[in-house]
């Protein structure tokens, strides 16, 4: 239906965001950082398998006291309390006179970026390799990245091609879970292609397809395809909040990096970054009240999702680990979400400019009033291999130090004392009072000139960071986004709303726009 100009203007006014991060100092999510033990191999997977674009101009190496304290202050202070070397708690010494340095790459996708980092010994190029054999996504603060598969791709075929291309390139760890029981690798490979994923054909999740797997270095990844009812409901929220994704653009160019990757490069970028909480209400309210997200309303809420297929898809790798290790799956963070099981999973989505943060809670019982199922790691360092965290993009016109200080005060006032921001200098306690310039230190030379960052822990202990691209770093970022035809609210040139490119898609909601 074509809209008259007055009707279209009214529609656009009604669809203006309410509490979106567009209205504060954040431009959504800058990137998702993945800690790897092989930067070259991880870069190859995210480019040659998933179709992302390496930004060589932003490849980096750095070290120094400022980075040491900004990245690991919580763990350094824990080590002092325990009287142990910080390395025992997963902290490489990247200080001024330290033994290690940080290497990294940025990989651009349609609506977000993957940052890959490794911690390397200066003298030998040996990677600081510390990891936990427990890999369940149920551990408190455990992270996950979900990629959005394009509409016109057969979802099950996509899974088959992803695995085949990964094997051809030597990524043997990339094994997508099956929704049916398997006891070994031959059985997993024998599952027919048309049964590789889970697709919902009715209800509020009609059109949602999903699959879970581990990335090349063990990071937790997910695939979603969003069609029909689910995509319609999600689209209303993207339109209402002026979010950006290429999934809602007509005839968006299929760039050469996606084409080079083939079928496995057919993505819209990311749909979500997920984290695990011990208190769903608290975590949801933190992202909403402190960072300005929108909580997606029903029907985009996952309530007590269960089933034998769900259990296998979520945790098959861990179920096989438990059998191999001779332990109870529950002891390594695997709940029972089968139809006959006694555990419960609930999820809410917090939407930022470019995609959602999914927050999951587990209950040891079918009622929300039952005790929580909250397995925890005994570590918190971002240097653990396959750890991931989400980085929020702060507007380049805002003082980053003042922003994080204000966020800290707001979190305290809103009763989120768990939110802790690291300083760029040594302090005796977390949250010690320091002058504002001591929260961070902008890069003044090298490939990251103009870039700045601050690390923090979220309400469930999840790793967060707040980053800023200014000057040369901002120019490189914008150039990379434009080269890939990516979308972002960070720049007018990358924001389809500035060119009214969502008007056609969003017009379907104009007769009954979803507000609040």
Distance CA 129, CA 118 (A): 9
Domains of the chain: 50-121+377-488 (no CATH), 142-376 (3.10.180.10)
pLDDT value at position 16? 41
Res. 471: pLDDT tops 80 = yes
What is the C-alpha to C-alpha distance for residues 263 and 161, in angstroms, rounded to an integer?
7
Least confident of 7-11, 123-127, 227-231, 304-308: 7-11
d(CA 117, CA 114): 10
Q: Burial of 474 by CB count in 10 Å (0-12 exposed, 13-18 middle, 19+ buried)? A: middle
The full DSSP string for 7-75 is HHHHHHHHT--SS-GGGTTEEEEEEEEEE-S-HHHHHHIIIIIT--EE-GGG-EEE--HHHHHHHHHHH
Q: Before 63, cis peptide (omega within 30)?
A: no
pLDDT for 15: 41
* In contact, 478 and 490? CB cutoff 8 Å: yes
Those residues with Cβ within 8 angstroms of residue 128's Cβ, 6 or more apart along the chain or in another chain = 92, 100, 118, 119, 120, 121, 383
Mean pLDDT score, 135-149? 98
Q: Give buried/exposed letters for 263-297 (b at 16+ CB in 10 A, else e).
A: bbbbbbbbbbbbbbbbbbebbbbbbbbbbbbbbbe
Give the pLDDT confidence of 493-504 residue by residue, as tens digits: 999 999 999 999
* Residue 511 pLDDT: 52
pLDDT at 314: 98
Q: What is the pLDDT of residue 24?
A: 67
- Over the stretch 256-267, which tens digit does the pLDDT of each residue have? 999 999 999 999
- Taking 90 as the threshold, does the pLDDT of residue 219 lie above it? yes
Half-sphere exposure of 96 (CA within 13 A, CB side): 5
What's the CA gap between 516 and 470, in Å, rounded?
34
Percent of the chain exceeding pLDDT 70 equals 94
User: With 70 as the cut, is the pLDDT of residue 128 above it?
Assistant: yes
Which range is least confidently modeled, 168-177, 185-194, 297-306, 361-370? 297-306
Residue 1 pLDDT > 80, yes or no? Answer: no
The pLDDT of 425-446, averaged and rounded, is 96
Determine the Cα–Cα distance for residues 92 and 302; give it in Å rounded to an integer: 39
pLDDT level of residue 98 (50, 70, 90 thresholds): very high
Question: Residue 2: is its pLDDT beyond 50?
Answer: no
The share of the chain scoring above pLDDT 90, in percent, equals 89
Confidence check: pLDDT of 100 > 50 = yes
Give pLDDT, residue 510: 63
CA 251 and chain centroid, separation: 26
The SS3 assignment for 253 reads: coil
pLDDT for 17 beyond 80: no
**What is 305-331 written as a DSSP string?**
---HHHHHHHHHHHHHHHHHHT--GGG
pLDDT tens sequence across 292-302: 999 998 888 88
Residue 516 has pLDDT above 60, yes or no: no
Neighbours of 128 (CB within 10 A): 23
pLDDT over 50 (residue 425):
yes
The arithmetic mean of pLDDT across residues 218-232, rounded, is 96
Who has greater pLDDT, 509 or 344?
344
Question: What is the structure's pLDDT at 8?
Answer: 41
Rounded mean pLDDT, 80-96: 98
Distance between CA 231 and CA 247 in Å, rounded?
Answer: 9
pLDDT of residue 253: 86
314 Cβ contact partners less than 8 Å away, ≥ 6 residues apart: 137, 177, 212, 337
Using DSSP, state whether 361 is helix, strand or coil: strand
């Amino acid at each position: 239906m074509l809209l008259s100009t007055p009707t279209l203007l009214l529609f656009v006014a009604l669809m203006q965001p309410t509490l979106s991060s567009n209205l504060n100092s954040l431009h959504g999510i800058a990137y998702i950082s993945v800690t790897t033990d092989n930067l070259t191999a991880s870069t190859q997977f995210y480019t040659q398998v998933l179709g992302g674009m390496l930004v060589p101009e932003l490849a980096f190496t750095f070290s120094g006291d400022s980075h040491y304290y900004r990245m690991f202050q919580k763990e350094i202070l824990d080590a002092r309390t325990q009287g142990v070397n910080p390395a025992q708690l997963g902290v490489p010494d990247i200080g001024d006179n330290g033994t290690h340095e940080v290497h990294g790459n940025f990989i651009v996708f349609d609506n977000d970026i993957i940052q890959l980092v490794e911690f390397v010994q200066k003298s030998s190029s040996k990677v600081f390799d510390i990891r936990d054999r427990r890999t369940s996504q149920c551990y408190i603060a455990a992270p996950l990245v979900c990629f959005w598969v394009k509409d016109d791709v057969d979802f099950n075929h996509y899974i088959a091609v992803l695995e085949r291309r990964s094997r051809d390139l030597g990524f043997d760890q990339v094994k997508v879970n099956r929704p049916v029981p398997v006891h070994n690798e031959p059985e997993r490979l024998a599952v027919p292609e048309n049964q590789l994923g889970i697709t919902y054909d009715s209800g509020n999740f009609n059109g949602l397809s999903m699959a879970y797997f581990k990335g090349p270095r063990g990071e937790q990844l997910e695939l979603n395809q969003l069609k029909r009812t689910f995509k319609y409901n999600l689209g209303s929220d993207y339109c209402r909040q002026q979010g950006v994704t290429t999934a809602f653009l007509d005839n968006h160019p299929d760039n050469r990096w996606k084409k080079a990757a083939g079928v496995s490069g057919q993505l819209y970028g990311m749909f979500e970054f997920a984290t695990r909480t011990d208190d769903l209400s608290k975590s949801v309210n933190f992202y909403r009240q402190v960072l300005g997200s929108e909580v997606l309303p029903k029907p985009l809420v996952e309530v007590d999702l269960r089933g034998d297929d769900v259990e296998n898809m979520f945790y098959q790798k861990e179920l096989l680990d438990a059998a191999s290790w001779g332990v109870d799956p529950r002891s390594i963070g695997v709940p029972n979400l089968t139809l006959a099981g006694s555990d419960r999973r609930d999820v809410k989505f917090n939407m930022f400019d470019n995609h959602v943060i999914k927050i999951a809670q587990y209950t040891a019982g079918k009622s929300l009033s039952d005790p929580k199922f909250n397995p925890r790691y005994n570590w918190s360092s971002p240097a653990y291999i396959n750890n991931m965290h989400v980085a929020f993009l702060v507007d380049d016109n805002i003082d980053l130090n003042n922003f994080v200080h204000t966020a800290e005060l707001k979190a305290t006032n809103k009763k989120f004392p768990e939110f802790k921001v690291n300083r760029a200098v040594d302090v005796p306690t977390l949250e010690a009072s320091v002058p504002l310039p001591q929260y961070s230190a902008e890069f003044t030379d090298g490939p990251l000139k103009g870039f700045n960052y601050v690390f923090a822990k979220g309400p469930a202990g999840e790793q967060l960071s707040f980053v800023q691209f200014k000057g040369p770093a901002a120019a490189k970022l914008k150039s990379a986004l434009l080269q890939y035809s990516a979308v972002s609210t960070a720049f007018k040139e990358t924001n389809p709303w500035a060119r009214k490119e969502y008007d056609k898609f969003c017009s379907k909601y104009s007769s009954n726009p979803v507000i609040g």
